[in-house]
Amino acid sequence: MRLYIAVAAGGFRRYATYRVATFAGVFTNTVFGYIMAYTYMALWDQRPRLGGYDLPEALTYVWLGQALLATCAMMGGGFESELIERIRTGDVAVDLYRPADLQLWWLAVDLGRAAFHLLGRGIVPMVLGSFVFELALPADPLTWLAFLVAVTLGVVVSFAIRFLVALSAFWLMDGAGAAQMALLAGLFFSGMLLPLPVFPGALGEVAAVLPWSSLLQIPADVLLGKHTGWDLAAAYAFQAGWAVALLAAGRVLQSVATRRVVVQGG
Amino acid sequence: MSTEGADAGDAGDAEDGFIELDGVEKVFDVRRRARGGAGAGAGGEARGGARRGIGRLRREKHQVRAVDGISFRVPRGEMVGYIGPNGAGKSTTIKMLTGILTPSGGRLSVAGIDPSRERTRLARHIGVVFGQRTTLWWDLPLIDSYRLMHRMYRIPDARFRANLERCVELLDLAELLDVPVRQLSLGQRMRGDIAAALLHDPAILYLDEPTIGLDVISKAKVRDFLRNLNAERGTTVLLTTHDLTDIEQLCKRVMVIDHGRLLYDGGLAGLHEIGRSERTLVVDLEQELPPIELPGARPVRTEGPRQWLAFPATESAAPLVARIAADYPLVDLSVREPDIETVIAKMYVDRSAV
Ligand SMILES: Nc1ncnc2c1ncn2[C@@H]1O[C@H](COP(=O)(O)OP(=O)(O)OP(=O)(O)O)[C@@H](O)[C@H]1O
Ligand SMILES: [Mg+2]
């Protein structure tokens, strides 16, 4: 356990060393936040209460999306490119003889990264957005706490998806292709472009039960107070269920991949 | 599912060999597209569609015998060189000895453990350095990687501090501890990797080309460190390299493999005898002169005032040097070791001639 805490701390420190990247990220998030906020304002002007959100809620949703974009790695940008590279070059064999579990190791790295991104790239855009727009931020600290739990679960789900994607590099020549597909799926199905309830009919219903809704849609709804009581528990259970299922799938794939490396040499 | 042979009773003979290989094999299946017979190429493409279709579907399963029945024993505390040309099977052997590759046949045991079956347990007894890969954490200061080793191998605090101090001193790492690994030079990174492999006091150290790409001074540092490690700690060392000087300075015993087979196992002098290898004396004279003729040396090449003379590797260079210094206007002189490829190539030719 202490190992993985140390690994997570390393993941945090490592992203903390990229100062320029962090600054550039905050800048991009803020600019996109403004663009999307004005787009949403135009949209909500035409269709008030679209998807069940009023305008302050919709704007809060926009800025949350920017704040969590890096944290939940909705557009990738976490450990996966590194793991894909290690698989491609065969360096992953070196990881295997160490007395540490591959999945837990990378999960710890990614949690460390997410913690840094939440602090370093989440808070500033949110604050800058709240200066200009009227947001529906909750006053109750418990709601914020509930939100943090949902974000943490979202990060784990996001990790589990990206771990599966990265492991595909054992079989696919070009792991980057799979990562790109996952990125597109994540961007759309997390609700990054528009809240999922806005999508009509089957598309919205399907999107709501896919794992990506854990990344932004659920944490945002928790912060907006749309899930309380048993409903909140159900939302957590949904996230945790996907986390467990996807992590388990990752375990299976990892042991198949390990066997392949160990028998076939990669 | 009974691919494994003998199960019990192999811990008993762990005493006489610390590392034991018994007829170990590793066969890789390599799939590659079959070539469409004799007329392949542009002409072949123009032929009937059906045939081409078949040609495209058929994939030849091809086997590479990377390690082809190797047996040896290394007693505790020995430092052994494991050499051979590119593709000989050295890295494959080391991977099997760490447990990250399962052998296709034969038996092996390291410190009484079957590596592929108990990889994690074995990890605590061995240290591994792959010269071409790094175990260090790329973006973080060197010291962070060491702290991770501390946790990963559950090294007691006092032990960790003592080992780190020792490695830092002997490998000259003090200045580098706070430098991110990606900023280290190759030689610095290699020293960093060697330290990382030793913090948990492994009884066995595998080094796969630890001096690759290093300059003379870095090589000397690494060699001094390894010599000291083996002498003072009694660490068993298995070393692969393409630099014969590594072997000469460090190992009494050398094993040569080629095409996955053990060609030679013994002292270095014996290797030179078998290979009938030659060292080269590079002589710089004051002016251009006809090739130097001396007994026991053979002129190989002349280029202006510089001359190359070959002499048997088993002989000392001293008498030859003395003669040249006495009889010729000598400016500078150096001795080149035969490179391992040449020695082995000769051995291999000799063997097939028998
Ligand atoms: N994973 C693999 N799949 C297929 N063939 C492999 C694999 N790994 C190694 N080989 C083959 O096995 C043979 C031995 O390779 P190995 O890496 O052990 O050589 P080596 O002695 O370490 O060579 P070098 O000096 O170049 O490092 C080579 O022919 C190589 O192509
Ligand atoms: Mg090799």
pLDDT of residue A179: 82
Number of domains in chain A: 1
Asked if residue A227 belongs to a domain, the reply is yes
Looking at the complex, report in whole angstroms how far the Cα of residue A204 sits from the nearest Cα belonging to chain B: 41
* Contact state of B120 with A99 under an 8 Å Cβ cutoff: yes
Structure tokens at B142: 């060197």
Identity at B353, one-letter amino acid code: A
Judge whether A170 and A252 are in contact, CB under 8 Å.
Answer: no
State phi, psi for B314 to the nearest 5 degrees: -80, -15
User: What φ, ψ does residue A44 adopt, rounded to 5°?
Assistant: -70, -20
Q: How many whole angstroms separate alpha carbon A146 and alpha carbon A231?
A: 12
Question: What DSSP string describes B209-261?
Answer: STTTT--HHHHHHHHHHHHHHHHHH--EEEEE-S-HHHHHHH-SEEEEEETTE
Cβ count near A35 (within 10 Å): 11
What are the beta bridge partners of residue B32?
A: B60
Predicted confidence (pLDDT) per residue in B28-59, tens digit: 988 765 554 443 333 333 333 444 444 455 66
Which residue pairs, CB below 8 angstroms and at least 24 apart, start in A122-126? A122/A67, A122/A68, A122/A70, A122/A71, A123/A67, A124/A26, A124/A30, A125/A26, A125/A29, A125/A30, A125/A33, A125/A63, A125/A66, A125/A67, A126/A63, A126/A64, A126/A66, A126/A67
Q: Which residues of A touch B29 (CB under 8 A)?
A: 264
Model confidence over B303-335: pLDDT tens digits? 999 999 988 877 888 999 999 999 999 999 998
Q: Does residue A62 fall inside a structural domain?
A: yes
Distance from CA of B153 to the nearest CA of A (A): 7
B19-271, which class in CATH?
Answer: alpha beta
Buried b (16+ CB within 10 A) or exposed e, B321-339: eeebeeebeeeebeeebbe
Of the candidates A224, A3, A32, the one whose C-alpha atom is nearest the C-alpha of residue A104 is A3
In this prediction, what percent of chain B has a pLDDT beyond 90? 55
Average pLDDT for A79-86: 89
Ligand 1: nearest atom to the Cα of B260? 14
- Tell me the C-alpha distance between A197 and B322, whole Å: 92
**C-alpha distance from B48 to closest chain A C-alpha (Å):** 31
The model's pTM is 0.83
Per-domain boundaries in chain B: 19-271, 278-337
Any domain includes A265: no
In this predicted complex, what is the ipTM?
A: 0.85
Q: Of A94, A112, A148, A249, which Cα lies nearest the Cα of B193?
A: A94
Residues lining ligand 1, CB < 6 A?
A 265-266; B 28, 30, 64, 66, 84, 86-92
**Separation in Å, CA B40 to CA A93, B46, B51, B60, B121:** 37, 10, 12, 15, 51
Smallest CA–CA distance from B115 into chain A, residue: A97
pLDDT in tens, B245-291: 888 899 999 999 989 999 899 988 787 777 667 888 999 999 998 99
Question: Which residue in A10, A94, A265 is closest to B133 by CB distance?
Answer: A94
**SS3 of B3, please?**
coil
pLDDT tens-place string over residues A33-60: 999 999 999 999 999 999 999 999 999 9
A266 is a domain residue: no
Q: Would you say residue A144 lies in a domain?
A: yes
Index of the ligand 1 atom closest to the CA of residue B132: 27
Domain extent for A185: 2-260
